[in-house]
Amino acid sequence: EVVVLSVGGMRFVTRASTLQQFPESRLARMVNDNDREFKLVNGEFFVDRDGALFSYIMDFLRTLQVSLPPDFSDYQRLQREAEFYGLYPLANLLSQEHLLKPRLEILEVRFSLQEMQAFFRIFGSCSTTIEALAEQITVFTGQQSGQGWNSPFPSQKPLVPLPLERPSHHDMVFLCGTEYSAGDQFVARYVSIKPDKRKLINGTNVLGLLLDSLLKDGFRLISTRTVASEEKVECYTFERMKRAAGLAIMVNQTPGSSGVAQARKSQVQKGK
Per-residue model confidence (pLDDT) at position 149? 46
Among 90-99, 112-121, 151-160, 164-173, the range scoring the smallest mean pLDDT is: 151-160
Per-residue model confidence (pLDDT) at position 268? 35
Taking the model in full, what pTM does it have?
A: 0.59
Q: Is the model's pLDDT at 145 over the cut of 80?
A: no
Q: Measuring CA to CA, which residue among 161, 219, 225 is closest to residue 190?
A: 161
Query: Per-residue confidence at 186, pLDDT binned at 50, 70, 90?
Result: confident
Q: Is the model's pLDDT at 152 over the cut of 70?
A: no
Q: Is the model's pLDDT at 222 over the cut of 60?
A: yes
Q: Is the model's pLDDT at 211 over the cut of 70?
A: yes
All domains in the chain, ordered by first residue: 2-100 (3.30.710.10), 104-145+153-242 (3.30.1410.10)
The more confidently predicted of residues 24 and 70 is 24
| Region at 220 (left for phi over 0; alpha for psi -120 to 50; beta for the rest) | beta
Q: Taking residues 185-194, what's their average pLDDT? A: 87
Give per-residue pLDDT as tens, 159-185.
888 888 999 999 999 999 887 665 666
Q: Taking residues 44-60, what's their average pLDDT? A: 92
Q: Is the model's pLDDT at 214 over the cut of 90?
A: yes
User: Which residues, listed in sequence order, are joined to residue 239 by a DSSP beta bridge?
Assistant: 106, 220
Query: Per-residue confidence at 264, pLDDT binned at 50, 70, 90?
Result: very low
- The DSSP H or E segment spanning 107 is strand 103-114
Distance, in Å, from the CA atom of 169 to the CA atom of 12, rounded to the nearest integer, reads 45
Rg over alpha carbons for the chain, rounded to the nearest Å, is 27
Q: Taking residues 16-23, what's their average pLDDT? A: 92
DSSP state of 58: H
The mean of the pLDDT values for the chain is 82
Q: Measuring CA to CA, which residue among 232, 229, 122, 131 is closest to residue 175?
A: 122
